[in-house]
Amino acid sequence: MARIPPLAFETEIHEKEEALEKLEALSESSPAIIESIRQIRKDLHAMRKEKYSNLTAWETVLVSRHSMRPQFLDYVDLIFEDFVELHGDRAFGDDQALRCGFARLGDRKIMLVGHHKGRNLQERQKCFYGCAHPEGYRKALNRMKTAAKFGLPIVCLIDTPGAFPGIGAEERGQAQLIATSILEMSRIETPIVCVVIGEGGSGGALGIGIGDRIGMLANSYYSVISPEGCAGILWKIANEETRPKAAEALRLTGKYLRAMNVVDDVIVEPLGGAHRNPREMGATLKTWLIRHLRELEAIPIPEMMDQRYGKFRNMGQFTRDVPAQ
């Protein structure tokens, strides 16, 4: 197994892991070594549990961006079967940042849509680091309408820092395509389940984020803007001091979003993050998806559409100042 690069806040955990590897490389014939290995494993588990139970908002953002965190195509291999990718938007081109296709989830045929960032530099450049263009959202919306035509549920896996910000994307109607996608997804007459598997940034995430059930992995984030973007606006600089402050102020983690009904569920990750045990994470996510699709299939379409509309109309919390009489 490839060595997992440590994050900035995992220094002590990483040192303990290195000590464990050195001991495990020695002969285990000595009872003292075997006992030391057992104790270090116990301490390591306790350290991970303590740290990951109390992550700050910024630390959660760092975990969501981990270079080895499972991405869309990883979950295709872990969860789904018979994936057949569909290409092109029938207008401009094929956006590799936003993938779509038929797939099978258990005994269900579905339409699968999701962002893919890429693993190495060449793939990331090809996928624009998960930042989709207008043709990506047009492609996704076309496939969703196809799914509704054939009565297939839709699963959307969200993992993007935001829609692509380039001039070409703006010239081709980036904002208009995202707005259209939000509108059309709100009235597509088939069950839609959305899950934030990593980053859920800005309109890039919302473009495929309207559904009957919204979930997010425990170490993902979902926000109107990235912490760096927020820090740049509020403090004119994004550094080690302002990024954590912005992340905390944005309330972008699952515990806050669940409390405000922005998401329906926060899905537990393996201890140390999804990248520590992708297979376990895949099994957990698969169970969650099947359960919610089963629930939605039992609801008549007109009632489901009313519930979807009400869900987003009633989302969030706010206060209103009433002038004194």
pLDDT digits (tens, 9 = 90+) for 300-318: 999 999 999 999 988 866 6
Cβ–Cβ under 8 Å, residues 52 and 277: no
149 in a structural domain: yes
169 and 30 within one domain: no
- The answer on pLDDT for 15 being more than 90 is no
84 and 19 within one domain: no
Cβ–Cβ under 8 Å, residues 160 and 199: yes
CA distance 60 to 191: 30
The SS3 of residue 197 is strand
Percent of the chain with pLDDT over 70: 96
CA distance 164 to 166: 6
CA distance 209 to 181: 9
Predicted confidence band at 27 (pLDDT cuts at 50, 70, 90)? Answer: low
235 and 107 within one domain: yes
More confident residue, 6 or 223: 223
42 and 156 within one domain: no
> According to the model, what pLDDT value does residue 239 have?
93
> According to the model, what pLDDT value does residue 312 have?
92
Phi-psi region of 181 (alpha: psi -120 to 50; beta: other; left: phi over 0): alpha
> According to the model, what pLDDT value does residue 28 have?
63
Q: How many other C-beta atoms can be found within 10 angstroms of the C-beta atom of residue 218?
A: 20
Cβ–Cβ under 8 Å, residues 153 and 111: yes
74 and 194 within one domain: yes
Give the range among 37-41, 239-243, 258-262, 266-270 with minimum mean pLDDT: 37-41
> According to the model, what pLDDT value does residue 94 have?
94
179 and 83 within one domain: yes
Specify the CATH number for the domain of residue 201: 3.90.226.10
Tokens 């295709």 belong to residue: 76
CA distance 27 to 224: 53
Domain that holds residue 90: 61-313
Count of the separate structural domains present in the chain? 2
Predicted confidence band at 1 (pLDDT cuts at 50, 70, 90)? Answer: very low
92 and 18 within one domain: no
Q: Give per-residue pLDDT as tens, 163-177.
A: 999 999 999 999 999
Q: How many other C-beta atoms can be found within 10 angstroms of the C-beta atom of residue 189?
A: 12
Residues 6+ apart with CB under 8 A from 265: 213, 214, 215, 216, 258, 288
Q: Give per-residue pLDDT as tens, 208-245.
A: 999 999 999 999 999 999 999 999 999 999 999 999 99
5 in a structural domain: no
Task: Give the residue from 294, 286, 280 showing the smallest Cα distance to 81.
Answer: 286
Predicted confidence band at 17 (pLDDT cuts at 50, 70, 90)? Answer: confident
H or E element: which one contains 193?
Answer: strand 192-201
Predicted confidence band at 114 (pLDDT cuts at 50, 70, 90)? Answer: very high
- The answer on pLDDT for 296 being more than 80 is yes
42 and 148 within one domain: no
214 and 146 within one domain: yes
